[in-house]
Amino acid sequence: MKVGIDSIAFSTSKYFLKLETLALHRRDDYEKYYIGIGQKQMSVFPPNEDIVTIAIDATQKAVAMLPDKNDIDLLIFATESSFDLSKSAGIYVHRFLQLKENCRVFDLKQACYSATAALQLAKSYVKENPRSKVLVVASDIVKYLPNTSGEPTQGGAAVSMIVAKDPRILTLEPHSGIHTTDIMDFWRPIYKSEALFDNKLSVYNYLKSLNITLERYLEASHLNISDLDCVCYHAPFCKMARKANQQTFKNKFLENSLIYGSLIGNSCSASIYICLLSLLDNTPEDLGEKRIGFFSYGSGSVAEFFSGIISAGYKEMLAPESNRQMIEDRRETPFEEYESIFSGTSAPVSRKYQNVGPVALVKIENDKRIYEFLCPNKNL
């Protein structure tokens, strides 16, 4: 039985900051950003947007491609940006998408790898329950301390995927190469809102893990690297994916997969699936029946190399014009406003900011996050 990605959509903020602007105010060389890390812009998230609101927007679009959303009986929310150590962020998505009550919901965490873990769990679940569909949501907003090397890689996005049998976008293949090792290359203690990292160690371990997982994948699958038509890499910044590609595969489709990421910044768990969407949206030729490899890496660390076969007719399930328009319609944020938002000195929740989707964080009351539809009586 074929199982894989049947529907996929993404969302990001209505606001962005040009890295030229950041370089100017940080008295830095823009070439370090554009050439050194391969980034052009970063999405900026005002107080009324968080991992839940953008996840709801992405999920609304993904679920719209289903004949019946009541087929969803498992929702897995992958994130490393959770604001609650107890309640799943997926519960809010479940509520606002009005999914049935007979549905399991939980979060997964392992740095940027968690969405891939969710995808593999979803695949196994559907194989055991062929009538079921699984909603996998990856949503992260990345924040670093100002004047650090991580600052120009900030950003965020949410990707929602429906995993089902006879998928209309991508069939997941059974073999993987996996590598887990205890390493302190990136971490965020619960008492900090910004991540801490060892950049050189992280890059070294990323590339080392790629070699190990690719070798194990090829051994398990009995394939050659030439059997892969293209590869999507986890891209915390685009230059990282380019380094990986140069080291292993050198596929001609790489730049197509990095278009969206270069404009929205790092989206952690969603990153590799943003690359998939960017590849499918921005490659004019038909990729149907081609084998695509995936390298997923989560600091700390867990890495996996796996593959899938792109479905014939996959383009009918895409919305490239809508995705490009969403990015083009973002508003440029003045630097002073960016600093206010990221320092937390702007209003906790303000109606002056627009939301990308139908739901906004309207207030935090008694430590409870209160979300509301922007339009009363909204029905998804």
Extract the tokens encoding 209.
């893990």
Instruction: Give me the long-range contacts of 322-326 (CB less than 8 A, separation at least 24).
Output: 322/61, 323/10, 323/260, 323/277, 323/281, 324/281, 326/11, 326/12, 326/356
CB 228 within 8 A of CB 249: yes
Q: What gap in Å lies between CA 340 and CA 357, rounded to an integer?
A: 23
**Which residue among 112, 232, 268, 275 is the active-site one?**
112
Cα–Cα distance measured from residue 167 to residue 218, given in angstroms and rounded to the nearest whole number: 24
8 Å CB contact between 8 and 273: yes
Identify whether 112 is a catalytic site residue: yes
Residues counted in the chain: 380
Which of 49, 80, 151, 304 is labelled catalytic?
80
CA quadruple 135, 194, 16, 378: dihedral positive or negative?
positive
Strand partners, 187: 196
234 included as an active-site residue: yes
Of 173, 234, 255, 275, the active-site residue reads: 234
Q: How far is CA 286 from CA 209, 283, 311, 313, in A?
A: 31, 8, 10, 9
80 is catalytic: yes
| 330: DSSP letter | P
Residue 80's identity, in one-letter code, is: E
| Pairing of the two strands 15-18 and 331-332 | parallel
- Region of 203 (left: φ > 0; alpha: ψ -120 to 50; beta: rest) is alpha
Query: Where is 132: in which H helix or E strand?
Result: none
List the catalytic residues: 80, 112, 234
